[in-house]
A = this chain, B = another copy of it.
Amino acid sequence: MDGIFFSLEIVGTIAFAVSGAMAAMHKHLDIFGVLFCGIVTALGGGVIRDTLLGNLPPAMFKSYSYLITAVITGTVTFIAAKILNSKFETKAAAIDRVNNIFDAIGLGVFTVAGINLAANSGYADNAFFVIFLGMTTGCGGGIFRDICIREIPFVFSKRIYAVASLVGGCVYYIMHVYFDLNGVLAVACGIGTVFVLRLLASVFRWDLPKAY
C-alpha cells in the first residue's frame, strides 16, 4: 500500500514538474528558471501547506525523493526541448494532452496526501482546514508557478481543476475521518474521484460559471 502510494506520488511529481518546465520554456526562461518552475509546481503546494501548519522546515527539505524527481524531470524536459527544438514546440500540445492524464493522477494523490498529513497533525476535527490543505497541496504549486511566469492562475478561470480536488478531498475526508474506513478503499475513492472529475472536465471542456 505505502509502496503504491509513493509510486503514485512520484508519478504526480513528474507530471507537475513537466507542466512547470514546459510553461517556463514557453516564456523563454533559462535552464535555472525552468528547473525552478518545475520544482515550484511539483513541491510548492506542499511548502504552503507545511507553512500554514507551522510544520517548518517544510517536508521537501527533509526527504529529497520528490525534489530529485522534479530536478531530473525538469532537466530531461529541457534537454528534450533543446534537441527537438522547433519540433518540440509543435508537439507541445500533444505532450500536454498526454501529461494531462498524469497531472490528474498527481492532483488526486497530492490532495489525499495533504489531507492525510493535516489530519495526522492533530487537525482531524477541523474539516475545512484539512480539506483546504488537501486542495492547497494539489493546486498551490500551479498557482505559484503561474504567478512566477506572470499569468493569472489557470485554476481561477479554466476547467474545474480546484473543484475536482475539493470534491475528491471531501470524499476522502468523510470516508477516512468520519467513517474510519479501510485505508486503501478511502484512498482509492479519493484519488479516483479527483482523477475522473479532472479528466471529464478536460475532455468535455467543463468550465465553472463566470459572471459575464
Contact = CB atoms under 8 A, between A and B. Distances in A.
Nearest to A30: B208
A8 interface: no
A156 interface: yes
Interface string A31-67: 1111011000000000100011110111001001001
A211 B82 contact: yes
Interface string A183-212: 000000000000000000000000111111
Contacts of A34: 211
A56 B57 contact: no
A147 interface: yes
Interface in A118-147: 123, 126, 128-129, 132, 143, 147
B61 A57 contact: no
Contacts of A128: 61, 64, 67
Name, among A32, A155, A208, the residue most crowded by chain B CB atoms within 10 Å (CB to CB). Answer: A32
Interface stretch (A84-92, A94-102, A105-113, A172-180): A84-92
28 contacts: A25-B210, A25-B212, A27-B152, A27-B157, A29-B156, A29-B157, A30-B158, A30-B208, A30-B209, A31-B209, A31-B210, A32-B155, A32-B162, A34-B211, A36-B156, A47-B52, A51-B51, A52-B61, A54-B57, A57-B123, A61-B126, A61-B128, A64-B128, A88-B212, A143-B148, A148-B153, A149-B152, A150-B151
